[in-house]
């Protein structure tokens, strides 16, 4: 009994082992550059967001999940921005949403929204933007460009000199940097931080407010701020000094463009999202495993055993044997001979189309022509049949000889 169930037991044990291995294996580290306030992954911004709550006044930090246009309630009739005055706006990302080419990001700040952002700053508000690439309209308006850092080709662990406003210097690995500010044409711009003497953080006055442009978003990530030696270096000081540049007032933290860009539903489809969530992934695996077991057991027959029906036997031989035995035991050879003659006549009528009422010489000649049997055999057969039809009794041997004549006749058909 166990032998029949062995494949199922092996299958269940195999799946159980795979499940255990999957559950106990270390979860791979997510190196996505989200900079989202709730993400505790290396390049999330959980630490920075909590740090900002100490820098700005209590209950003055708000999360924005709407676009720039919706955030600042643009007034189309008066062509005036914003209803939210005397505020700060912070956005940190790797590249998007400041890529001008729409194909490069699912959600991005276009020219129209850039104009809204410019108008927002012109009214006296402050905007901090940290990214590797910016919208060309913003670059042209403020008078700066970004370019790849010259030493980017070297090892990511190669140390570079980061200097903050002549207050302190830090030797930081190359992996935190990719772009720098280049060709700053704005004479009113103030440089706050450099990388090997090339600007990476600068303030650009615009109207009544200011833009703070940074090309080092990784310096505000969890990974950078939580390094083992961060308390003995300037890692925390970089973030603290940077955001102390903004006035202590209501501050908006942007999550809209990050959520839109990082949303797995937009980029990789619903199945990827389901498999990326541990609970949903194991719900799918459990459902598939249950379905597999169900199919294995349901594949067996559920109806009762179908009995084997033997084909019907050919009873002609048995019938002939029975009848023959009956006549043999009765000993009425004349009657049996007459029945054989009757059957033979029926056969001649059906096969050769000959009348059998009178078995004369003419009948013999016609039968010989149609059957191609020798005339002497025809004569012997017909003559014997005529004698037997009138006989009252016959000898057994005579009946046997007549049956041999019939057999030879049938054999020539």
pLDDT in tens, 286-336: 888 888 877 777 766 566 677 888 887 777 767 777 776 776 677 777 888
- Domains: count for the chain: 2
Q: Is the pLDDT of residue 152 over 70?
A: no
Q: How far does Cα 237 stand from its chain's mean position?
A: 47
CA 304 from centroid of its chain's CA atoms: 39
Do residues 35 and 107 both lie within one domain? yes
The two three-digit tokens of residue 391, written as one number: 């006989």
- Residue 42 in any domain: the answer is yes
Domain assignment of residue 106, yes or no: yes
Q: Please state, in angstroms and as integers, the Cα–Cα distance from residue 343 to each residue in 337, 385, 399, 406, 409, following that order.
A: 10, 12, 15, 11, 13
In a domain, 406, yes or no: yes
What integer pLDDT is reported at residue 69 of this predicted model?
A: 73
Verify that 176 and 324 share a domain, yes or no: no
What is the pLDDT, as a whole number, of residue 399?
A: 81
SS3 for 102?
Answer: helix
Which whole number is the average pLDDT over 212-216?
Answer: 95
* 3-class DSSP state of 338: helix
Question: 181 near 199, Cβ under 8 Å?
Answer: yes
Q: What is residue 78's predicted lDDT score, i.e. its pLDDT? A: 46
Mean pLDDT rounded to a whole number for the chain: 80
Residues 320 and 178 in one domain: no
In a domain, 311, yes or no: no
Count of CB atoms situated within 10 Å of the CB of 384: 17
Structural domain range at position 51: 31-262
Specify whether 246 is located in the same domain as 334.
no
- Please compute the mean of the pLDDT values over residues 237-244 and round it to a whole number: 92
Most confident of 22-31, 280-289, 292-301, 361-370: 361-370
Is 147 in the same domain as 249? yes
Which pTM was predicted?
0.60
CA pair distance 292, 350, nearest whole angstrom: 67
Instruction: List, in order, residues 6 or more apart from 379 with CB less than 8 Å away.
Output: 364
Q: Is residue 67 part of a domain?
A: yes
Which pLDDT does position 304 carry in this prediction? 66
**Most confident residue range from 110-119, 152-161, 208-217, 303-312:** 208-217
- Asked whether residue 227 falls in the same domain as residue 337, the answer is no
Looking at residue 263, what is its pLDDT? 46
Q: Give 183-195 pLDDT, tens digit per residue.
A: 899 999 999 999 9
In a domain, 271, yes or no: no
Cα(160)–Cα(234) distance, integer angstroms: 14
32 contacts 43 by C-beta, under 8 angstroms: yes
Is the pLDDT score of 82 beyond 60? no
Identify whether residues 82 and 158 lie together within a single domain.
yes
- Kindly state whether residue 293 falls inside one of the protein's structural domains: no
Over residues 326-355, mean pLDDT: 83
| Percent of the chain clearing pLDDT 70 (strictly above) | 80
pLDDT of residue 370: 87
Q: How many CB atoms lie within 10 A of CB 87?
A: 23
User: What percent of the chain stands above pLDDT 90?
Assistant: 27
393 and 258 assigned to the same domain: no
The rounded distance, in Å, linking the Cα atoms of 251 and 59 is 10
Q: Give the three-state DSSP class for 168.
A: strand
Question: 55 pLDDT band (50/70/90 cuts)?
Answer: very high
Q: Which of 109, 53, 63, 69 is nearest to 89 (CA)?
A: 63
Could you tell me if 116 and 223 lie in one domain?
yes
Are 177 and 58 found together in one domain? yes
Report strand pairing: 179-182 vs 145-148. Answer: antiparallel
Q: Does the structure show a pLDDT above 70 at 97?
A: no
Q: Are 53 and 134 in the same domain?
A: yes
**CA angle in degrees (0–180, nearest 5) for 254-260-262:** 100
Domain end residue (candidates: 196, 227, 262): 262
Most trustworthy range by pLDDT among 98-102, 286-290, 317-321, 343-347: 343-347
Residue 87 is predicted with a pLDDT of 93
Question: Which residue, 199, 234, 262, sits at the end of a domain?
Answer: 262
pLDDT for res 411: 84
Quote the tokens at residue 54. 């100490």
- Measured in whole angstroms, the distance separating CA 387 from the mean position of its chain's CA atoms is 93
pLDDT at residue 32 in the model: 85
Residues 81 and 205 in one domain: yes
Give 19 or 413, the one with higher predicted confidence.
Answer: 19
Q: Give domain status of residue 2, yes or no.
A: no
CATH of the domain at 134: 3.40.50
Give the angle subtended at the CA of 376 by the CAs of 371 and 379, to the nearest 5°. Answer: 80
């Amino acid at each position: 009994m166990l032998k029949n169930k062995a494949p199922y037991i092996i299958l269940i044990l195999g799946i159980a082992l795979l499940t255990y291995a999957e559950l106990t294996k270390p979860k791979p580290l997510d190196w996505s550059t989200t900079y989202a306030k709730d993400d505790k992954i290396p390049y999330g911004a959980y630490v920075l967001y909590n740090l900002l709550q100490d820098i700005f006044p209590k209950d003055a930090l708000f999360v924005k999940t709407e676009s720039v246009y919706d955030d600042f309630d643009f007034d189309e009739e008066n062509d005036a921005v914003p209803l939210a005055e005397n505020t700060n706006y912070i956005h940190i990302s790797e590249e998007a949403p400041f890529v001008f080419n729409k194909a490069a990001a699912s959600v991005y700040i276009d020219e129209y929204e850039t104009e809204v952002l410019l108008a927002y700053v012109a009214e006296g508000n402050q905007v901090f933007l940290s990214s590797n690439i910016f919208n060309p309209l913003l670059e042209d308006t403020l008078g700066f460009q970004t370019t790849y850092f010259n030493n980017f080709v070297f090892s990511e662990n190669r140390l570079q000199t980061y200097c903050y406003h002549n207050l302190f210097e830090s030797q930081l690995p190359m992996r935190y940097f990719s772009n720098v500010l280049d060709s700053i044409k704005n004479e009113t711009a103030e440089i706050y931080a450099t990388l090997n003497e090339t600007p990476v953080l600068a303030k650009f006055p615009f109207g009544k407010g200011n833009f703070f442009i940074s090309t080092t978003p990784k310096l505000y990530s969890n990974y950078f701020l939580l390094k083992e030696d961060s308390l003995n270096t300037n890692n925390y000081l970089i973030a603290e000094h940077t955001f102390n540049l903004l006035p202590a007032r209501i501050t908006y933290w942007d999550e809209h463009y990050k959520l839109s860009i990082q949303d797995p539903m937009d980029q990789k489809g619903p199945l990827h999202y389901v498999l990326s969530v541990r609970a949903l992934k194991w719900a799918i695996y459990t459902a598939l495993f249950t379905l597999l077991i169900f199919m294995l057991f349901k594949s067996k027959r559920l109806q009762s055993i179908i009995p084997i029906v033997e084909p019907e036997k050919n009873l002609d031989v048995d019938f002939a044997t029975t009848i023959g035995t009956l006549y043999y035991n009765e000993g009425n050879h004349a009657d049996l001979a007459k029945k054989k003659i009757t059957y033979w006549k029926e056969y001649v009528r059906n096969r050769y189309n000959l009348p059998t009422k009178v078995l004369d010489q003419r009948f013999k000649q016609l039968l010989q022509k149609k059957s191609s049997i020798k005339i002497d055999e025809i004569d012997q057969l017909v003559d014997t049949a005529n004698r037997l039809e009138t006989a009252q009794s016959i000898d057994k041997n005579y009946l046997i000889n007549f049956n041999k004549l019939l057999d030879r006749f049938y054999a020539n058909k």
